[in-house]
Structure 1
Amino acid sequence: MGQQLSDAVATLSGVGPARQKGLAELGINTIADLLTYYPFRYEDLQVKDVNEIADQEKVTLKGTVASEPVLARFGRKKNRLNFRLLIDHDVYMVTFFNQPYLMKQIETGQDLAVYGKWDATRSSLTGMKIINPNNADSAFGSIYPASKTVKQGTIQKMIKQAYELYAPVITDIVPANLRAKYRLLPRRQMIHDMHFPASQADSTAARRSATYEEFLLFQMQMQVLKQTDATTNGIAIAYDNDRLKAFIKTLPFELTHAQKRVVNEICLDLKSPKHMNRLLQGDVGSGKTIVAAIVMYAAITAGYQAALMAPTEILAEQHANNLAQVFADTDVNVALLTGATKPAARKTLLAALAAGEINLLIGTHALIQDGVTYANLGLVITDEQHRFGVNQRAAFRQKGGQPDALAMTATPIPRTLAITAYGEMDVSEIDELPAGRQPIQTTWVRSNQANSALSFVHQQIDNGSQAYVVTPLIEESETLDVKNAEALSANLQEYFGASVKVGLLHGRMKPEEKDAVMAAFKAGDIQLLVSTTVIEVGVDVKNATIMMIYDADRFGLAQLHQLRGRVGRGTKASYCILVADPKNQQGIERMQIMTQTTNGFVLAQKDLELRGAGDVLGVKQSGMPEFKVGDPIADLTVLQVAQQDAHAIVQQPDWQSQPDNRALAAYLSQKLAAVGTLD
């Protein structure tokens, strides 16, 4: 077989089991992973003229060592290495801190290139590393994301070794016609210039080619998954339209235009024999749950079972209670299954589910565990989609014969980004709020004005309302000057006195403790709840009218918006108070926009512009792909072009066997086999 990019990194010299484990933690398992482990920045190692250097600029100076190196030790484990460098008849002092081993590399009379930070007032250089000018691979030093176990230098050496050994087997993946159209570099050169650019222009051209390649490969995966999904036989759910219309008429309110449109989109998908894979986006309070209820009822009228999975027990329980009321006068049999379900009750429930007696099951990830068998599952809905991993969603779909899948999220993702995160899904949006929803008045105060805000909170509580107070941290932190939840709850209890019961909720509490506190708040036994963001998603307390958020500038806009959405769920006027002392202009802008709009989609777009995709969605849990080079915000145009190109490729009949696409098809089949799922 010879060498292949799919070879394990262990084939390189110096990679034993410990290093292999460290590399795996960085996502590097194969030679291909290593070669596409791109630098996130470069150090300019080109030798500069002393007269052209700005103060504090990082530069490389080249000269002759003009004095013996002197090592001075001071303090515990601290030392300073000094020597003089002769450059064009002038002598400059070079200092290295805490690198005593460099003594051996410095000899009087030797030519030396040193990379470091220039101090213009002292005409001296604080050295960072010594460069062998005859051996430099390029004029730019590549800087990689490293870890405690795998250091920067190790990554650099391994990439150099891998490139030297495997360059001959690096072949193009992007079809030749697209490479010509966009003037992209051949893949071998692109990889070389990403790691070892000779100039700024080389690195820019390589990054441009790498960004397009990465986006095209991602979009091809999305298109292939979508195509496979469409051709996979789903279920044609022939629901009873008359019964569905009659059910909608029994609802105590008129659906908004947006809700009607979305219900129609989903019902069309249900009827179709193609497999549905749809994302339903709706801002906080836009009425996604009732849309879910309507489409689940549609599936049930056709004799199918429906399941709704929520990320927490509190939320699952809330859905079960609300839906039991919605379906009170129908033949829908609602059941709740969570980790808290007692063994005896669970056994009875599972038997009824397998027999088809339960036609709507609501719960947490307990719904997809082994031993949970459905008689005839037709529709699965996941609430707060981004809280579930790919494998959990896939396991859900395997519970039935390819049941239709609907994912719901209240984390507004601008449509431009939705094509990235959920490129294989169709997207529906509820973009208006139901009539009668109270607008939430948002104000921003500095921390020295917090007491006047608290007196307003006291008035509201005296008038019979309840309040949330949110803070970012749980316990003392030396590095962050933030109010922690425990200290804050004690202070507030003292401030409000015995007439107000203050509760505390944070992430370190056991689930049953959290549930007990939340139940007491819902029942009105606790008037003011101090919490970290564990109350963020979906919990519904209609009597809560105030959301006060300390250190609000430490949260993203999307998260602040989610928190704000916890109030204003009843008929009373509601308020959100942001307490923050932002340190920079961006922080001030974020506080101002929160007071100017309650539209989650506007906020999400603004958050993307200010912070980038990874921060907004919390990449690790969002299902957002992590790109190595491309930035879905900054490079959005490239992303959209790549999507159009990918779409055009898969529309061609028998595209895989066309000579230009063979390398691309081979790459995808390998990639999709590794994923092992169409989700």
Structure 2
Amino acid sequence: MGRQDPPHSCLPHSGQHDARTPGSARSKLYRMTRLLYQTSLVCYGNVETPSDRPAGEAPRARRVPRVGRMPDVADARGRRMGRILKLPSACWPETPVAGLPGVGPARARGLGRLGIVTASDLLLHLPRRYVDTRDLVAVRELRAGVVQTVRVRVREVRAHHSPRRHMALVEATLEDGSGRVGAIWFNQPYIAGQIPPGTELLVSGKVISGLHGLSFQSPRFERASSDPRHVGRLAAIYPETEGITSVFLRGLIGRLLPVAEQMPDRLPPEVRQAEGLMPLADALRQVHLPDEETSAAAARERLGFEELFLIQLAADRARRRRLGSAGVVVAYDVEVARAFSAGLPFRLTDGQRIAAHQVLADLAAPGPMNRLLQGDVGSGKTAVAAMAALMTCRAGHQCVVMAPTEILARQHWVTLEALLSPHDLSPRLLLGSTGSRARREILEGLAAGHDPLVVGTHALIEDDVVLNDLGLVVVDEQ
């Protein structure tokens, strides 16, 4: 889409002077006004293409309708939605939500708290559950104490105040061909103007039994139409925040769904076909405005598959990149391994020997090692880590063992001291509680390469910790 400068009558010309506006302020005003005008062209209208205008005529911005009458809706507490703004014709996945009609500064801040900045963020803000109000019943079938939905016509409506507490009340009489039922809303006098007599409504809420028969108490309602958004369908319930309700999100997202056609589908067609998954645009439409519970579940499955698919791709790329890069090569010294095993006060199990061999073989490979050593508590994982640490230090490199807590770090330090001190390898201990003098001594030894093995907590990854020749890192994830 092209952009055009606003007419000269809209902006102060750079050569004009205004005694009331200093030069710097005048320049800033010009830039701000120009930016606002160009932004309005992008977000709220179209710019004519050369084929849309007579030859030789300068381009001009076309006006587009910004406000359209939509069905009046209200949430569970009857908060008014009233007129809903239509989307601008020029709306893209990257369009900021702050520029959408109906989203003022306060709502833009609320959406930002939910991590929603652009139109695509809004479409990817998925429901956490659904409320099914599709089961319509006749008025004569209503039962007290049950949440039910009816399609009715407003017979009469009255706004008044309660005699004792002077609470604003709106009472309505609703009817269909089978009977009449009342409805009451508290402290929402504006509802009386939304439902004049003769209006057809979809009403859903809890039915109570009172002195004058059955009545809906603070029900949700929507003008009856062939395509309801809030009542009489599977209505999405979203993660919310202050000032951002599911009613508002359903209305805004429903008008944004055409933008889903412009969002890139990251799943290759052959993968979608092999897995029986729907395209992204269809999935977003069904997850926000589902036809059935099964279609909503299929849409969520498709979106979840894409998320896991991309994670797997990222992990595979990281693995290929890691294997293709150069790592620290630690020679597999069989004599060192045998001496370590012989010096243990116990015999290594078959699982320990296999795991140790795989770890040492990885260390000897040209690429970096990235291995998960998994086992139950007491299965001997520390002994395998100690053998790898000894092999690394014997090759002239340094080893770091990091634990999540100081208690666990001290336990590892005591265990490694017992296992490795017979091989003239004594670990140092670096914790957050280590004194400044001892800490300075340890940091100097690590930087100079005098201390080949150190055990600690997250204090090991602080900025002032520098190792001379790091070859192996062991992380206890607990």
Q: Please, what TM-score do these two structures have when normalized by structure 2?
A: 0.71
Asked if the contact 1:79–1:100 (Cα under 8 Å) also holds between the matched residues in 2, the reply is yes
1:232 aligns with 2:321: no
Deviation at 1:367, TM superposition (A): 0.9
Deviation at 1:136, TM superposition (A): 2.3
Q: Distance in 1 between matches of 2:416 and 2:465?
A: 21
- 2:365 alignment counterpart: 272
- 2:173 alignment counterpart: 84
Specify which of 467, 470, 473 is matched with residue 374 of structure 1.
Answer: 467
Deviation at 1:6, TM superposition (A): 4.4
Q: Deviations over 1:363-393 (max 9, x none)?
A: 1111111121111111111112xxxxxxxxx
Closer, same or farther in 2 for the Cα pair 1:61/1:345, shift >3 Å? same
- 1:105 alignment counterpart: 194
Specify which of 205, 213, 220 is matched with residue 116 of structure 1.
Answer: 205
Asked if the contact 1:62–1:113 (Cα under 8 Å) also holds between the matched residues in 2, the reply is yes
Q: Distance in 1 between matches of 2:331 and 2:461?
A: 25
- 1:282 alignment counterpart: 375
Structure with bigger gyration radius: 2
1:148 aligns with 2:233: no
Closer, same or farther in 2 for the Cα pair 1:308/1:5, shift >3 Å? farther
Q: Distance in 2 between matches of 1:54 and 1:265?
A: 69
Specify which structure has the higher proportion of helix.
Answer: 1
- 1:632 alignment counterpart: none
- 2:119 alignment counterpart: 31
Q: Deviations over 1:43-86 (max 9, x none)?
A: 22436123777875544311012232455659989776442210
- 1:300 alignment counterpart: 393
Q: Distance in 2 between matches of 1:285 and 1:347?
A: 34
1:128 aligns with 2:219: yes
Structure 1 residues 137-146 or 76-85, which shifts more? 76-85
CA RMSD of aligned residues (A): 3.0
Closer, same or farther in 2 for the Cα pair 1:251/1:181, shift >3 Å? same
- Aligned to 2:347, the other structure's residue is in SS state coil
Q: Deviations over 1:427-457 (max 9, x none)?
A: xxxxxxxxxxxxxxxxxxxxxxxxxxxxxxx
Q: Please, what TM-score do these two structures have when normalized by structure 1?
A: 0.52
Q: Distance in 2 between matches of 1:48 and 1:13?
A: 33
- Aligned to 2:126, the other structure's residue is in SS state coil
- 1:174 alignment counterpart: 267
Q: Distance in 1 between matches of 2:163 and 2:326?
A: 74
- 1:351 alignment counterpart: 444
- 1:64 alignment counterpart: 153
Q: Distance in 1 between matches of 2:142 and 2:315?
A: 48
2:239 partner amino acid: P
- 1:336 alignment counterpart: 429
Deviation at 1:253, TM superposition (A): 1.5
Structure 1 gap segments, 5+ residues each: 385-408, 410-679
2:446 partner amino acid: L
- Aligned to 2:362, the other structure's residue is in SS state helix
Q: Distance in 2 between matches of 1:8 and 1:85?
A: 42
Q: Distance in 2 between matches of 1:145 and 1:31?
A: 17
Closer, same or farther in 2 for the Cα pair 1:76/1:233, shift >3 Å? farther
Alignment of 1:246-645 (within 5 A): 246-384=339-477, 409=478
Closer, same or farther in 2 for the Cα pair 1:319/1:76, shift >3 Å? farther
- Aligned to 1:27, the other structure's residue is in SS state coil
Asked if the contact 1:311–1:364 (Cα under 8 Å) also holds between the matched residues in 2, the reply is yes
User: Relative CO higher for 1 or 2, CA cutoff 8 Å, sep ≥ 6?
Assistant: 1
1:191 aligns with 2:284: yes
- Aligned to 1:42, the other structure's residue is in SS state strand
1:163 aligns with 2:257: yes
Q: Deviations over 1:486-516 (max 9, x none)?
A: xxxxxxxxxxxxxxxxxxxxxxxxxxxxxxx
Closer, same or farther in 2 for the Cα pair 1:255/1:99, shift >3 Å? farther
Q: Deviations over 1:170-199 (max 9, x none)?
A: 232211112222332221121112111233
Asked if the contact 1:82–1:95 (Cα under 8 Å) also holds between the matched residues in 2, the reply is yes
Identical aligned residues as a percent = 35
Q: Distance in 2 between matches of 1:273 and 1:297?
A: 19
- Aligned to 1:86, the other structure's residue is in SS state strand
Specify which of 121, 134, 140 is matched with residue 46 of structure 1.
Answer: 134
Q: Distance in 2 between matches of 1:331 and 1:16?
A: 69
Asked if the contact 2:229–2:251 (Cα under 8 Å) also holds between the matched residues in 1, the reply is no
Deviation at 1:319, TM superposition (A): 1.9
Q: Distance in 1 between matches of 2:370 and 2:165?
A: 61
- Aligned to 2:374, the other structure's residue is in SS state strand
1:145 partner amino acid: P
Closer, same or farther in 2 for the Cα pair 1:298/1:107, shift >3 Å? same
Structure 2 gap segments, 5+ residues each: 2-89
- Aligned to 2:236, the other structure's residue is in SS state strand
1:350 partner amino acid: L
Q: Distance in 2 between matches of 1:244 and 1:54?
A: 79
1:241 partner amino acid: V
Asked if the contact 1:42–1:142 (Cα under 8 Å) also holds between the matched residues in 2, the reply is yes
